[in-house]
Amino acid sequence: MRITSRVRAVAAAGGLVAALVLTGCFAEVLPKPDATPTPPADETAAGGPLVGDPSLLAGEEECVAAADNEPWYPTIAAFEVHDSERTHLYDCASFLGATTDSNAVFAYSSPDVYVTPYNIVGRGPDELYIYGGGYGDDPTASGSFVSRVEPGSLREVWRRVLINTHVTGEWNYPGVLNAMAEDDLIVVYGYRIARIDPDDGTVIASATLPTGDSEPGDTAYNGYDAFPDGTIIAKTVNRQPGCTEQGFSAFLQCPDPSSAPASVLVAIDPSTLEVIDQVTLPEMMGGRVTTTVYDGTNMIYLPGATKLYRYTFADGTLSADESWGPVSYLKDGQTAASAMAVIGDQVVGMTNGGAPTSTPMSVFSVSQADSTQVGNLQPFADSDSDNSFIPSMVSVDPDNGRVYVMDAGAAMIGAVDVGEGTLDLAWTADQRTLSFTTLVGPPDQRILIGTHIPVKTFKGLQDYTTEEVVWRDADSGDELARSSVFPKMTTGILVTPGYGGLQYFLAADGHIISLQVVPAAD
């Protein structure tokens, strides 16, 4: 794939093309409507709404109540990737299929449309909420909204429209919705934050957030994380001043994306939504914020264009941690990482999210105790691919010391075992995805869920419109189930687990698709 000069400029300025959440030069492609669409075979087979296995609900509720996942609501999926350390590990979620025999997949598509659905969170078996409207690349996306969705039928209960960017002229770029332990929903969108009543969608409180040297209308907070006490940590991404391109296209079509001002990092009081402290970062950083508590200290990890950074938050103050890094993490020819994840005493990530490159992707690890201890492995170096590109982030399994990686260029997915400064390849499989992966189930029965884009060449990623879901045994990599072909998933997200063994696929055409895997009939 030819990389334009604009993409090169963006990558050089901080890997902003797709580390900015996902999926870079492919983000603006949307499915073309079909006048007479044929339902996927999995949906035809289901013939109606899915309920999973209701007998599992009590055990799942007990599991999440006992989990140590503060400050997020005790439920299967309250935070966009389950926990503040961004593991993507939903160990209380169930898999209903067989692990030693063949399976069948059933699907159900919502009758209501949620324009550019971005993430889905729950507050128990009876409450589902969607954040959408933030993909300004789609002209039908007029600004962020939050909707409550009825489980099973997937019909809309209420919708709270937060802004119309067609009217305000602001940059429409995805924020995120999460469910905090104190019972309310908190959403960031543009340079704003709001608390929403989950019962009726009332905006209980709202605030504007600092934008630093960037104009407010050119600024977006691309998600947030939080410490166990509830303190919210968030940062900005910025559009080139004077540019009017919307969504991810701002990083592709603006004349000079590299001229966007540096990001701002903020700490926010979760009760009042007031900014506790703020700092300007060394550069414009596209990857999401990751937080953890290590050795009793609140740590914040951020990937830059060529270096990894750590900040601390103590006594109400954000500070660059001069005892750790910055860590150089790229091999020659590689492009920037997206967000990092925490696995035990180490932080991990993978490269080549900034732009496509011919240099194979690396998964890397850095000790939280000693930033000079760096591991690096190129798991797909033998794939013979001319391209490497993976704007999403790793998934991690701290219990089993394993990291799950993928590369849309190599069209492969794999597992890497993490030791003290060592990285060892466990398995690889053919699968082409640009999106996050998901882990569900207990430590000895992990299931890895990811999408597959059914194109034969890397060039095909420029205009793909369909996607499949694949379930694998996380230990061996063996495929357990594969869905029908669906309209492509919204970029920058993951297949999200729900109660009773269901999963949710958010299609870019605005439909929520619930999924249920069961053993195949004899």
Name the token pair of 332. Answer: 């020659």
CATH code of residue 91: 2.130.10.10
For residue 130 the two structure tokens come to 């969607």
Residue 380 CB: number of other CB atoms within 10 A? 25
Q: How much is the pLDDT for 495?
A: 98
The reported pLDDT for the residue numbered 231 is 98
DSSP of 224-237: EEE-TT--EEEEEE
- Specify whether the CB–CB gap between 165 and 179 falls below 8 A: no
pLDDT of res. 469: 98
The pLDDT value given to residue 36: 55
% the chain with pLDDT above 70 = 93
Cα 216 to chain centroid, rounded: 24
- Which two tokens mark 317? 């103050």
Would you give per-residue pLDDT tens digits along the chain (522 residues)?
333 333 334 344 444 444 444 433 344 444 444 555 688 999 999 999 999 999 999 999 999 999 999 999 999 999 999 999 999 999 999 999 999 999 999 999 999 999 999 999 999 999 999 999 999 999 999 999 999 999 999 999 999 999 999 999 999 999 999 999 977 999 999 999 999 999 999 999 999 999 999 999 999 999 999 999 999 999 999 999 999 999 988 988 899 988 999 999 999 999 999 999 999 999 999 889 999 999 999 999 999 999 999 999 999 999 999 999 999 999 999 999 999 999 999 999 999 998 899 999 999 999 999 999 999 999 999 998 999 999 999 999 999 999 999 999 999 999 999 998 899 999 999 999 999 999 999 999 999 999 999 999 999 999 999 999 999 999 999 999 999 999 999 988 999 999 999 999 999 999 999 999 999 987
pLDDT given for residue 21 in this prediction: 40
Length of the chain: 522
Contact 290, 225 (CB under 8 A): yes
Query: In angstroms, rounded to a whole number, what is the distance separating the alpha carbons of residues 121 and 75?
Result: 9
Counting Cβ atoms within 10 Å, is residue 410 exposed (0-12), middle (13-18) or buried (19+)?
Answer: buried
- Quote the domain boundaries for residue 268: 5-519
Strands 290-294, 297-303: parallel, antiparallel or unpaired by DSSP?
A: antiparallel
The pLDDT of residue 108 is 98
Omega cis (within 30) before 326: yes
Alpha-carbon distance 143 to 189, whole Å?
9
- In degrees, rounded to 5, the angle at the alpha carbon of residue 48 between the alpha carbons of residues 44 and 51 is 120
If one counts the domains in the chain, the total is 1
Q: Please check whether residue 11 is in contact with residue 457, taking contact to mean a CB–CB distance below 8 angstroms.
A: no
429-476 pLDDT, tens digit per residue, is 999 999 999 999 999 999 999 999 999 999 999 999 999 999 999 999
N- to C-terminal Cα separation, the chain:
45
Q: How far apart are CA 294 and CA 306, in angstroms?
A: 24
Q: How many whole angstroms separate alpha carbon 106 and alpha carbon 49?
A: 10
* Calpha distance 131→233 (Å, rounded): 19
The pLDDT tens digits for 477-496 are 999 999 999 999 998 899 99
The Cα 194–Cα 178 span in angstroms is: 11
Q: How far, in Å, CA of 347 to CA of 353, rounded?
A: 17
Q: What is the pLDDT of residues 445-457, one digit of tens each?
A: 999 999 999 999 9
